[in-house]
Chain A
Amino acid sequence: MTVSPPIVEMRGIVKVFGDLVALDRVDLVVQEREIHALIGENGAGKSTLMNVLYGLYRPDAGTIALRGQEVRLRSPRDAIARGIGMIHQHFMLIPPLTVAENVVLGDERSGPMLSEGALAARVRDLEERFHITVDPTAKVEDIPLGLQQRVEILKVLYRGSDLLIFDEPTAVLTPQEVDELFVIVRKLRDEGKTVIFITHKLREVFAVTDRITVLRDGRNAGELETTSTNASEIARLMVGRDLKRPAARTPVPSSGPALEIRGLQAKSDRGAQALKGIDLTVNAGEILGIAGVGGNGQSELAECILGLREPTAGTILVGGADVAHDDPKRTRERGVAYVPEDRRAEGLVLAFSVADNFILGRQDTPPFSKRGVLDTDAIRANGDRLAKEFDVRPPNAGAIVGNLSGGNQQKVVLGRELTAQPKLIVVNQPTRGLDIGSTEYVWERLLEERARGSGVLLISSELDEIRALADRIAVMFEGRLVATLPAADAAEEQLGLLMAGHAEAASA
């Protein structure tokens, strides 16, 4: 009996973006009628690899073979023609059109006139075959996200895809909807389809998959059979790296909590529940690290604290006052500093000079303005001073911030936020995209602030960073803090499990 070739065999895939090596000779082998998990942390390269498979990116090196035949995929149209379908993380649906219209768009298979009835009937047939239920005549904008995902699946099935790629499919689903999705996926496999699941959640991996490929930092980290492995092993493969010894730290005597959050709930921009009841405390003189893969509510948490997002429930106490419903101006007056996740879009006005960015938010106060007039000399002097103090290179306060490197841009943000002697500092992914030198600099400054008595809420998806800086570590997963432990007690592997949704590890 001949063994049929794998439905997908990617070998030695390399993909580079400028300086960044996103994929470094990655292999992926998927057999037919398999449910395959592609797992890894943020930045591991999972989505990039799938985008290559789907024809959105062309690899810089490596081969792709479909059913034993080597292919070149130039565009999604090529991939679709060869039976590859992608269910995107951010749905590619047209909200005001109906489910049926969305499914058939681009491949309507009818004469020039459209018959809604015929379309709906065709979609219903498809639904029956794969046990997927969603009303074909409903408008996509009227149905919940979980059902919208089914429309994406139907789109792919309608075009006769044999290989379905799911990109982080459960990000927006309720637990109930996740179970329903698993049923659909199994049915798809029964009907002869092959499925690749991109995920970082272990629960999903163990619920439906047959085989697992682990990626880490753009490279292969392991290929496993689901039944012959366990959560710990996968977690270790996902996050394992050379441990940087956390700096020896003396505990700082605390003068009370800098931040207290109780029962915080909030919705994401897409309307899903991003925060499902957060309780946390950050004491003065401590760094609380919120570990977790991006997209589990971290940004929403930071935004609620700052006043950029309105919570639906809960309190946020800074210095004893509830700032949950205050605007950023009011909140900052209580001594809150913020280093946002996206320094280019949120942290800086790129077209302004370094000096101007240093005073963003404080432009109305002396010495920068007196009686309604800006004191440009004072602003410049301040800029020079801070540029030197915060090691901005080159130390030219008149330079346009947009022209600086990422590391120097981040130093400008720090310079602005830290000089005001804040009581609470909220930082989100502070060293993303930074070189080693800048990263170390940022870490140093945060530790200094801690020693000075500020409370620091550090949100980061880099475990290294959390381990290096945090006194206590909380893990955020799907809008909840699944554990909060002293850093000394938190084992690397345990954190990896928690980040991947394995809540039992909390009590290990």
Chain B
Amino acid sequence: MTWEMVVGASVFAAMLRLAAPIALAALGGTMTERSGVTNIALEGSMLVGCFFGVVAADRTHNVWIALAVALLAGMALAALHAYASITLRADQIVSGMALNILALGLTTYLDYQMYGTTGTPADLAAVPDLHLTFLNGIPYVGEAIADQNSIVWASLLLVVALQVFLFRTVLGLRWRAVGEHPRAAETVGVDVRRIRYAAVLASGALAALGGAYLSLGVVHSFTDGMTGGRGFIGLAAMIFGRWTPLGALAASLIFGYGNALSTSLQGATVGDTKLPVQLLGTLPYILTILAVAGFVGRSRAPAADGVPYETEGHA
């Protein structure tokens, strides 16, 4: 094991690359849970965004349309969840699980029907990397950030934007009120339903962007189930990040770092023993458990999170 393997610039670059989809999912989760709805179908939204982005890129050869389609797909799945959770007041966990299964089944099914055994085409319209050539001379930092995908930068911007939105705007204030005490918000005239619908749809779009990043930004193809649980890591990052966008980013970076380490330390040894790099994969999950159990600071979700809201039965 070398120092380079742990804090080298390439590790830092990998951290950013790996953190981006997690952060996007975490942002989505933060937005819905802040409004009081639990959406564990982020994985599903991410996957459909991943897949339908590829399909659209294949058919239209236009990366912008592909991205739009990806976002719409994610939002469509989220809309089902919104309808079930908000209007039907069904159990949000069961609905979320159902949608995750649906997303996986659906995308795998369509992948088979459309691309059979040959796989997705190799020349897909892709989301370009952002080459910051002016950083090329700078040691470390240059190598780390000079060639990240545009979506990575977009997600950083989104983190900032959503942080400002939640904590510095009127709508953000109402959003948070709805997640903490919807009845109190309703009595002062805030439209609980509308905000919650918007929140769930937004989460679908954000997660889908993360998915599109994976398929159109990184590997330029689609394989079944390629989101590989990143939606759930995003949920973990949201919890670990205390339900704030900045926290979600920080958590995603930590988790991304762990992920990057597990690759860079592949086969590394300390003395004679091989490092158990596979265990690094447990990092996000163990940290999250510690956080929710209160061992890592005080963690408090929005008070009305996950509880279906019933308007008072007045005449």
> Chain A residues in contact with chain B, CB under 8 A?
55-58, 74-77, 80, 92-97, 101, 105-108, 110-114, 155
Contacts and interface: CB of A to CB of B under 8 A. Distances in A.
Contact of A58 (B177, B303, B315): B315
Contact of A57 (B174, B176, B184, B314): B314
Interface stretch (B81-89, B187-195, B221-229, B277-285): B187-195
Interface stretch (B165-173, B200-208, B212-220, B256-264): B165-173
Given A108-B173, A112-B169, A112-B170, A97 B180 contact: yes
B173 to A, nearest CB: 6
Given A57-B314, A94-B177, 8 more contacts: A58-B315, A94-B181, A95-B180, A95-B181, A97-B176, A108-B173, A114-B168, A114-B169
A106 B185 contact: yes
B183 interface: yes
B310 interface: no
A155 B180 CA distance: 18
Given A93-B184, A94-B181, A110 B314 contact: no
Contacts of B168: 113-114
B171 A106 contact: no
A107 B170 CA distance: 9
A108 B170 contact: yes
A114 B181 contact: no
Contacts of A55: 314
Contact of A97 (B170, B177, B300): B177
Interface of B: 168-174, 176-177, 180-181, 183-185, 187-190, 300, 303, 312, 314-315
A94 B185 contact: yes
Given A105-B177, A105-B190, A92 B184 contact: yes
B165 to A, nearest CB: 9
Given A95-B303, A97-B176, A112 B185 contact: no
Contacts of A56: 312, 314
21 contacts: A57-B314, A57-B315, A74-B315, A75-B314, A76-B187, A80-B189, A92-B184, A94-B176, A96-B176, A96-B300, A97-B176, A101-B173, A105-B173, A105-B174, A105-B188, A106-B190, A107-B189, A108-B173, A111-B170, A112-B170, A112-B171
Contacts of A76: 187
Contacts, number: 65
A94 B169 contact: no
Nearest to A60: B315
A287 B312 CA distance: 40
A49 to B, nearest CB: 15
Scoring B168, B174, B184, B185 by chain A CB atoms within 10 A of each residue's CB, the highest score goes to B184
Given A113-B169, A114-B170, A92 B190 contact: no
A107 B177 contact: no
A106 B176 CA distance: 12
A94 B187 contact: no
A112 B171 CA distance: 7
Contacts of A77: 189
A433 B307 CA distance: 29
Of all A-B residue pairs in the complex, the 7 with the closest CB atoms, nearest first, are A58-B315, A106-B188, A92-B184, A106-B189, A108-B170, A94-B180, A94-B181
B184 A94 contact: yes
Contacts of B173: 97, 101, 105, 108, 114
A236 B303 CA distance: 44
B211 to A, nearest CB: 30
A118 to B, nearest CB: 12
A93 B315 contact: no
Contacts of A112: 169-171
A107 B174 CA distance: 10
Contacts of B300: 96
Contacts of B315: 57-58, 74
A105 B185 contact: yes
B314 A92 contact: no
B181 A92 contact: yes
Contacts of A57: 314-315
A55 B189 CA distance: 13
A155 B176 contact: no
Contacts of B171: 112
Contacts of A74: 315
A101 B188 CA distance: 12
B257 to A, nearest CB: 30
Nearest to B304: A94
Nearest to A86: B187
A76 B184 CA distance: 12
Contacts of A80: 189
Contacts of B312: 56
A106 B174 contact: yes
B188 to A, nearest CB: 3
A106 B180 CA distance: 14
Contacts of B184: 92-94
Scoring B168, B180, B181, B190 by chain A CB atoms within 10 A of each residue's CB, the highest score goes to B181
B170 A93 contact: no
Nearest to B315: A58
Contacts of A110: 170
Nearest to B172: A114
A289 B66 CA distance: 75
Contacts of B185: 94, 105-106
A74 B312 CA distance: 13
Contacts of B169: 112-114
Nearest to A155: B188
A55 B173 CA distance: 26
Nearest to A101: B173
Contacts of B174: 105-106
Contacts of A75: 314
Nearest to A81: B189
B188 A96 contact: no
A351 to B, nearest CB: 18
Contacts of B172: 114
A80 B180 CA distance: 22
Scoring A56, A106, A113 by chain B CB atoms within 10 A of each residue's CB, the highest score goes to A106
A132 B209 CA distance: 49
Contacts of A101: 173
A167 B299 CA distance: 34
Nearest to B189: A106
B241 to A, nearest CB: 16
B181 A93 contact: yes
B229 to A, nearest CB: 31
Contacts of A111: 170
